[in-house]
Amino acid sequence: MASYVTNIPVEKALKIGLPGVVEITMVKELEGTYKTSIADMELSKKIIYLSIPTYKGRMIPIPKGVRMNVKIFDKSSMFSFTTVSLGVIKRDNLYMLPVIAPIEVKKTERRKFKRIPLYVYGILKKSLDENSEAIQFLTKDFSAGGIKFVTNTILKEGDIIYVTLNLDDELQIENQKAKIVRVDQKTEEGYQYGAQFIDVPRQLENKMVRFVFQKEIKAKK
C-alpha cells in the first residue's frame, strides 16, 4: 500500500478517545515508545491532554519539559506531531499528561492504490444531464482510486462530479462518478483538487490498476 502525507489543522484531525503512542528519544532514561490516548483537548489554550503513557501496563510519568513525538491513530490514518510535556496533572480525578498543541499535524494516509504522476486533459460534469456544462481539467496524478487535477472552475469538498478521461487505446473512462475529497491551494494553473472514484465497476478498476502498473514499469526502464 502507498502512503500519502499532508499537513492539516489540529482541530480537524484529533478527537478525544483516539489511541496513540508517545516516542521519546532525547532523554536516555526515558527513551522508548509508550501507549497513550487523547483524554481531552483545550485547543483555545493550545493544550492537548494525553492519558498517562504506559509500558506493559506500567505508568510512565513524563516530566515537564521533555520533548516527544506523538502519533495518534484513526482508522487508516496516522496523525503525528512533535510537542513538549507540561508535566503530569490531576484533572477531573484522573491523572493526565498535558502537552502543547501544534497548529497542524502530519496526516499519513494509507492508500489501497498506487498513484503515479500523470498529465492528461479530461472533461468533468457536475451532473449527467445532457445540458450539463463540460469543464476541462488537467490531471496531476492518477490511481485506480482517484485523481488529483487542476481546473479553472471552483468546486467544493463533497461535490459529486462525473469524469471522462481518455488514457490510452484500451482504457477510456467515461462519466465515472467521483467525489471531491480535497481542496488544495490555487496555483497559476488554476484550482487544485483531489477526487475519489465512487462505485467503480470491477472490470474498469482492474484496467486502471494494470494501466498504473504498466506506466511504472516503463518509467523504470
Q: What is the CATH number of domain 116-220?
A: 2.40.10.220
Q: CA-CA distance, 55 to 34, in Å (whole number)?
A: 5
d(CA 163, CA 126): 9
How many whole angstroms separate alpha carbon 141 and alpha carbon 218?
16
| CA dihedral sign, ordered 162, 166, 170, 171 | negative
User: Is the pTM of the predicted complex or chain greater than 0.75?
Assistant: no
Over its length of 221 residues, how does the chain's per-residue pLDDT go in tens digits?
455 678 999 999 999 999 999 999 988 899 999 999 999 999 999 999 999 999 988 999 999 999 999 999 886 688 999 999 999 999 989 999 999 999 999 998 766 678 899 999 999 999 999 899 999 999 999 999 999 999 999 999 999 999 999 998 878 999 999 999 999 989 999 999 999 999 999 889 888 988 888 888 777 65
2-111: CATH number: 2.30.110.10
Residue 48 corresponds to which cell in the numbers above?
A: 492537548
Q: Where along the chain do its domains lie?
A: 2-111, 116-220
Write out the DSSP string of 115-154: -EE---EEEEESSS-TTS--EEEEEEEEETTEEEEEESS-
**Beta-bridge partners for 135:** 124
- Give residue 116's identity as a one-letter amino acid code: I
Q: Are 181 and 130 in contact (CB under 8 A)?
A: no
Cell of 202: 470491477
| Helical H segments across 10-168, by residue range | 10-13
DSSP H/E element including 191:
strand 191-197
